[in-house]
Protein backbone atom coordinates (compact mmCIF):
# COMPACT_ATOMS: atom_id res chain seq x y z
CA UNK A 1 0.00 0.00 0.00
CA UNK A 2 1.33 3.44 -0.87
CA UNK A 3 2.10 6.01 1.85
CA UNK A 4 -0.90 8.19 0.87
CA UNK A 5 -3.23 5.17 1.09
CA UNK A 6 -1.77 4.25 4.49
CA UNK A 7 -2.36 7.80 5.75
CA UNK A 8 -5.93 7.87 4.44
CA UNK A 9 -6.63 4.51 6.06
CA UNK A 10 -5.15 5.67 9.39
CA UNK A 11 -7.25 8.86 9.37
CA UNK A 12 -10.37 6.84 8.49
CA UNK A 13 -9.62 4.33 11.29
CA UNK A 14 -9.00 7.16 13.79
CA UNK A 15 -12.37 8.79 13.07
CA UNK A 16 -14.15 5.41 13.16
CA UNK A 17 -12.49 4.68 16.52
CA UNK A 18 -13.57 8.08 17.82
CA UNK A 19 -17.17 7.45 16.71
CA UNK A 20 -17.42 3.93 18.11
CA UNK A 21 -15.25 4.04 21.24
CA UNK A 22 -14.84 7.70 22.21
CA UNK A 23 -11.88 10.04 22.38
CA UNK A 24 -9.94 8.04 25.00
CA UNK A 25 -9.60 5.20 22.45
CA UNK A 26 -8.12 7.72 20.01
CA UNK A 27 -5.20 8.65 22.30
CA UNK A 28 -2.93 5.68 21.31
CA UNK A 29 -3.06 7.00 17.71
CA UNK A 30 -1.76 10.44 18.74
CA UNK A 31 1.95 11.25 18.36
CA UNK A 32 3.60 12.79 21.49
CA UNK A 33 4.40 15.90 19.39
CA UNK A 34 0.79 16.21 18.16
CA UNK A 35 -0.52 19.75 17.61
CA UNK A 36 -4.11 20.68 16.70
CA UNK A 37 -5.19 24.24 16.07
CA UNK A 38 -8.75 25.56 16.05
CA UNK A 39 -8.75 29.01 14.43
CA UNK A 40 -10.80 32.01 15.60
CA UNK A 41 -12.87 31.87 12.40
CA UNK A 42 -14.33 28.53 13.54
CA UNK A 43 -14.58 28.83 17.30
CA UNK A 44 -15.59 31.30 19.98
CA UNK A 45 -12.68 29.83 21.97
CA UNK A 46 -9.82 29.28 19.50
CA UNK A 47 -6.90 27.36 20.90
CA UNK A 48 -3.93 25.11 20.20
CA UNK A 49 -3.89 21.62 21.69
CA UNK A 50 -0.60 19.75 22.17
CA UNK A 51 0.01 16.03 22.63
CA UNK A 52 -2.44 13.41 23.87
CA UNK A 53 -3.23 15.60 26.91
CA UNK A 54 -4.13 18.48 24.61
CA UNK A 55 -6.51 16.26 22.67
CA UNK A 56 -8.11 15.14 25.94
CA UNK A 57 -8.48 18.82 26.98
CA UNK A 58 -10.11 19.62 23.60
CA UNK A 59 -12.80 16.98 24.05
CA UNK A 60 -13.36 17.63 27.74
CA UNK A 61 -13.97 21.33 27.01
CA UNK A 62 -16.95 20.30 24.87
CA UNK A 63 -18.51 18.11 27.51
CA UNK A 64 -19.00 21.11 29.79
CA UNK A 65 -21.72 22.28 27.36
CA UNK A 66 -22.76 19.27 25.27
CA UNK A 67 -23.79 15.66 25.80
CA UNK A 68 -22.48 14.50 22.47
CA UNK A 69 -20.08 15.52 19.71
CA UNK A 70 -19.82 13.61 16.44
CA UNK A 71 -17.47 14.04 13.49
CA UNK A 72 -19.14 12.88 10.26
CA UNK A 73 -16.57 12.74 7.42
CA UNK A 74 -17.71 13.15 3.81
CA UNK A 75 -14.44 12.12 2.18
CA UNK A 76 -10.75 11.40 2.77
CA UNK A 77 -8.48 13.08 0.22
CA UNK A 78 -4.73 12.43 0.03
CA UNK A 79 -3.13 15.78 -0.86
CA UNK A 80 0.31 17.29 -0.35
CA UNK A 81 1.43 14.51 2.01
CA UNK A 82 -1.61 15.06 4.24
CA UNK A 83 -5.19 13.85 4.44
CA UNK A 84 -7.93 16.43 3.80
CA UNK A 85 -11.25 15.51 5.43
CA UNK A 86 -14.36 17.60 4.70
CA UNK A 87 -16.88 16.84 7.45
CA UNK A 88 -19.84 17.88 9.51
CA UNK A 89 -19.35 18.33 13.27
CA UNK A 90 -22.54 17.64 15.20
CA UNK A 91 -23.18 18.51 18.85
CA UNK A 92 -26.17 18.01 21.15
CA UNK A 93 -26.69 20.52 23.94
CA UNK A 94 -26.41 19.19 27.49
CA UNK A 95 -29.54 20.71 28.95
CA UNK A 96 -31.58 21.44 25.85
CA UNK A 97 -30.97 18.35 23.75
CA UNK A 98 -30.83 20.68 20.74
CA UNK A 99 -28.52 19.55 17.95
CA UNK A 100 -26.31 21.92 16.00
CA UNK A 101 -23.99 21.28 13.06
CA UNK A 102 -20.97 23.02 11.57
CA UNK A 103 -19.19 22.19 8.31
CA UNK A 104 -15.39 22.19 8.56
CA UNK A 105 -12.43 20.65 6.79
CA UNK A 106 -9.72 18.96 8.83
CA UNK A 107 -6.22 18.50 7.44
CA UNK A 108 -4.40 15.63 9.14
CA UNK A 109 -0.65 15.18 9.12
CA UNK A 110 0.50 11.66 9.94
CA UNK A 111 3.92 10.27 10.76
CA UNK A 112 5.05 6.76 11.73
CA UNK A 113 1.48 5.51 11.89
CA UNK A 114 0.35 8.27 14.27
CA UNK A 115 -1.47 11.60 13.92
CA UNK A 116 1.02 14.42 14.47
CA UNK A 117 -1.18 17.36 13.57
CA UNK A 118 -4.67 18.53 12.66
CA UNK A 119 -5.50 21.92 11.22
CA UNK A 120 -9.08 23.06 10.69
CA UNK A 121 -10.34 25.19 7.79
CA UNK A 122 -13.77 26.60 6.98
CA UNK A 123 -13.79 25.45 3.33
CA UNK A 124 -12.38 22.69 1.16
CA UNK A 125 -10.77 25.27 -1.14
CA UNK A 126 -8.85 26.81 1.77
CA UNK A 127 -7.73 23.40 3.04
CA UNK A 128 -6.53 22.28 -0.40
CA UNK A 129 -4.69 25.58 -0.93
CA UNK A 130 -2.92 25.08 2.41
CA UNK A 131 -1.57 21.65 1.41
CA UNK A 132 -0.60 22.45 -2.18
The residue ranges of every structural domain in the chain are: 3-131
pLDDT of residue 3: 65
pLDDT of residue 62: 81
Mean pLDDT in runs of 10 for the chain (132 residues)? 80 95 93 92 85 90 85 95 96 90 96 93 96 92
pLDDT of residue 2: 60
pTM of the model: 0.91
What CATH topology corresponds to 3-131?
Nuclear Transport Factor 2; Chain: A, (3.10.450)
Rounded CA gap, 128 and 115, in Å?
19
Q: What is the CA radius of gyration of the chain?
A: 14
pLDDT of residue 51: 94
Residue among 85, 81, 112 nearest 5 (CA) = 81
Amino acid sequence: MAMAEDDVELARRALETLASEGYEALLPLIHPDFVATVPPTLSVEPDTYRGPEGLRRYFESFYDAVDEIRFEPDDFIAAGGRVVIPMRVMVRGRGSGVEAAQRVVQVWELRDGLAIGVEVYPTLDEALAAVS
